[in-house]
Amino acid sequence: MKRVTFRSKPWWSDLLSQLRKAYNSALRSSKVERFDAALLASARAARTAYFKAIKKAKRDHWSVFLATATPQTVWTAKKFAVGRPPPRFPELLGATTPPELNRALLDHFFPGDPIGSFNSVLLPFRDCPALAADEIGRALARSSPSSAPGPDMTPNSVWKRIHRVAPHMIQELLAPLVAHGFHPSALKTADGIVLDKPGKPSYDSPSSFHVIVLLQTFSKILERIMNSRLSCVAHVAGLLNPHQCGSLAGLSTSDATTTLTHEVRTLQMAGKKVSTLFLDIKG
């Protein structure tokens, strides 16, 4: 029997423990003397009192929880009140078997991406800086150890431990790829998790779903290293807009909102009317 804890049942009390004990005792007595009407009535009364007390304890605890809700816990209260909707399974027109569903979703989320041809012999780039161990360390530091891995089934925590024990191992594996500017096809395989979009009127179209792509964690290390290098080059060469905040180190959503607020207030102080246009570009 699993012991009741405060986390599992925060509404539990000593009174409920006493009522449960009385109910179990009356139930055992009624099972021994099955034809005793008084014992059966006592067991039913104990059962009714026990479950009514549980409902009252839950209701009182919920009222106290709502009364003392904070900006952080109000979303938890909403999740408890609304509940989790059941997952929707794709019911696409013209796709009845699993292979047909798979092909329809792949064609929708990843439409015709032609595979390019590569030379049989790859030559290293002359001006490419050698891969350093600290670059790998910075890439791994930005990796969450709890993120779901891809087909390799190797979490980031494993690569972090490998880098601490043998920092040369990952460096020797990635250095030729960085020097030759090559991303192998074996590192591009990924697992796609298809999830339904809530509130859709029907789920007979792939547009009613979205896909979460789980890349291989080793491939993410290489991508973070190259992303850091390209960001540095773009910053030094002046290729970025001064208001660019996304995908840049040290800049985030708070910087974008601060910039927007500053522009709006500056124009309002000059007596002008301000309007803002937001664009959501589909990936």
User: Tens of pLDDT along 40-51?
Assistant: 899 999 999 999
Percent of the chain with pLDDT over 70: 94
Three-state DSSP at 280 gives coil
Quick one: pLDDT at residue 172?
Answer: 94
pTM beyond 0.75 = no
Helix (DSSP H) and strand (DSSP E) numbers for the chain = 9, 2
User: Tens of pLDDT along 70-116?
Assistant: 888 888 888 888 777 777 777 787 888 888 888 888 888 888 765 66
Count Cα atoms within 13 angstroms, Cβ side, for 72: 0
**Biggest distance spanned by C-alpha atoms of the chain:** 96
User: Which secondary-structure segment (H or E) carries 235?
Assistant: helix 217-236
Quick one: pLDDT at residue 5?
Answer: 67
User: What's the mean pLDDT in 49-73?
Assistant: 91
- Distance (Å) of CA 190 to CA 104, 118, 140, 148, 216: 17, 21, 19, 11, 6
User: Tens of pLDDT along 166-198?
Assistant: 989 999 999 999 999 898 888 888 998 888 888
How much helix, strand and coil, in percent to the nearest 5, is found in the chain? 50, 5, 45
Task: Write out the two tokens for 198.
Answer: 């809530």
Three-state DSSP at 211 gives strand
Three-state DSSP at 91 gives coil
Task: Write out the two tokens for 100.
Answer: 């047909």
Q: Is the pLDDT of residue 161 over 70?
A: yes
